[in-house]
């Protein structure tokens, strides 16, 4: 069974392509490599191109006999979405609607969609269940919510079957060390803390130390990227077995503060993390933690790497090896 993986050269997409291959599926990656890494595509063919191109999509569906789509390709920076909402609506909404139409034209009626906890906005209760009110506070969250809504209507009108996963904070790296997390610029906390230890950046900043949390810093739910990838494969199998289209949170239901993350990187690396304190960033809530029980009940998903130490260890190993291999040879 061939699966089209849009954005499969990216962080989550590449880990999911590996998970698909392990379960006997054949991933076909579509990525324009504007953010993804060519070397991360190790499972299945890479088609280099824009997922908003009708011509490219038509060719892939005809040539590969695609049976389902895993849709990761998107513009994903919250801050950039505020500065340039036009490009986010074009890429995340217009291009995704083009993809959905191309799927229907090709008779492909199964999608696993990469959504986000950003669709919720500020939490009204923690942990956050799937029926939590959705009031996004940035264009990125708005675009993900728009596609969730489109999926519901396309399902009702055209028989599209779908699962939308709302991620919390994907983190860590492939436990076997084959792939990891690399963004440019890097905005995620754990890799930035590691970069500060390795000297790739001067320091990491703690934005806000006066939150109503245990140590005053923001709390987030970190989920290992391989657990997240496994959930996507389980989501496909759930639909294949007749499961109803639905949205699911993906998180561990446990939160960790910024200071806790820094302490864990220091423990794992045995090095001091250079950091400074800065004011809160606008729109950052004190705590975002998932209620992940729905996915566990629906298709038996259970995180295999739920603890922060394991997440940081896999990330540290991958970044440490990558930094050595990237260092100039003498």
238 noted as active-site residue: no
Residue 39: how many other CB atoms lie within 10 Å: 11
Alpha helices in 23-76 (DSSP H): 54-64
| CB-based burial label for 106 (10 Å; 0-12, 13-18, 19+) | middle
Q: Which of 120, 140, 154, 238 is catalytic?
A: 140
User: In this structure, how many other beta carbons lie within 10 angstroms of the beta carbon of residue 201?
Assistant: 16
Residue 258 in contact with residue 189, Cβ under 8 Å?
A: yes
Residue 120 DSSP label: T
3-state helix, strand, coil split of the chain in percent (to 5) is 40, 20, 40
The maximal CA–CA distance of the chain, rounded, in angstroms, is 63
Closest CA to 170 of 22, 7, 25, 1: 7
Catalytic residues: 140
């Amino acid at each position: 069974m061939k699966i089209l993986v849009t954005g499969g050269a990216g962080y989550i997409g590449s880990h999911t392509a590996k998970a698909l291959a392990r379960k006997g599926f054949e991933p076909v990656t579509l990525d324009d490599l504007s953010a993804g890494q060519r070397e991360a595509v190790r499972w299945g063919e890479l088609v280099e191109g824009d997922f908003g191109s009708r011509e490219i999509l038509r060719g892939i569906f005809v040539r590969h006999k695609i049976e389902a789509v895993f849709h990761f390709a998107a513009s994903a920076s919250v801050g950039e979405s505020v500065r340039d909402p036009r490009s986010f609506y074009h890429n995340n909404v217009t291009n995704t609607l083009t993809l959905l139409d191309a799927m229907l034209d090709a008779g492909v009626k199964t999608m696993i969609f990469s959504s986000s906890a950003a669709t919720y906005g500020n939490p009204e209760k923690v942990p956050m269940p799937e029926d939590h009110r959705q009031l996004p506070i940035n264009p990125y969250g708005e675009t993900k919510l728009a596609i969730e809504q489109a999926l519901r209507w396309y399902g009702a009108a055209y028989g599209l079957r779908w699962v939308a996963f709302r991620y919390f904070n994907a983190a860590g790296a492939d436990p076997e060390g084959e792939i990891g997390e690399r963004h440019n610029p890097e905005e995620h906390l754990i890799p930035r803390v590691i970069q500060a230890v390795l000297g790739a950046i001067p320091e990491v900043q703690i934005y806000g130390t006066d939150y109503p949390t245990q140590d005053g810093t923001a709390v987030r739910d970190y989920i290992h990227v391989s657990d997240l990838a496994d959930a996507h494969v389980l989501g496909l199998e759930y639909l294949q077995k007749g499961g109803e289209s639905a949205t699911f949170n993906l998180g561990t239901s446990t939160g960790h503060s910024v200071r806790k993350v820094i302490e864990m990187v220091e423990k794992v690396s045995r090095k001091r993390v250079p950091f400074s304190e800065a004011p809160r960033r606008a729109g950052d809530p004190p705590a975002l933690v998932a209620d992940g029980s729905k996915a566990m009940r629906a298709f038996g998903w259970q995180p295999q790497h739920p603890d922060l130490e394991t997440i940081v260890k896999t990330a540290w190993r991958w970044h440490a090896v990558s930094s050595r291999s990237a260092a100039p040879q003498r």
